Amino acid sequence: MKQIILVGIGGGVGSILRYLVKVAAEKIYGNSFPLATFTANMLGCLLIGLLLGYFTKNQNIPADWSLLLITGFCGGFTTFSTFSSENLNLIQSGNYFTAMAYILGSLILGVLAVFVGFGLVK
């Protein structure tokens, strides 16, 4: 039960922060590119890399921290389902170039961010 609560708390905080990123990005940049989701996913990938590197380096940290921060927080903060839905909308509205840039940018930069985060801690 403790693990479920930790994942729930982390996920709730991550989801709230994702929403705040969305509100801020839409105020600053508008809606022409799904920048809020892109930002959340890139930050989440970087954070997961940092956490994985840190937990690998410091194996004496209780597994509860991984549940809270990686499974919970990063799971709530990153938004792959929203990413997929936004790409469907872009494609359906004929914005093929934007959809392709969003897909490739998310994949390439996301994987790179995980490597950078992991490398920074290692």
Residues of the binding site for Na(+): 75, 78
CB 51 within 8 A of CB 78: no
Locate 82 and state its tokens.
């929203």
Q: Taken in order 113, 6, 25, 88, is the CA torsion positive or negative?
A: positive
Which parts are annotated binding residues?
A: 75, 78
Q: Which two tokens stand for residue 64?
A: 């509860």
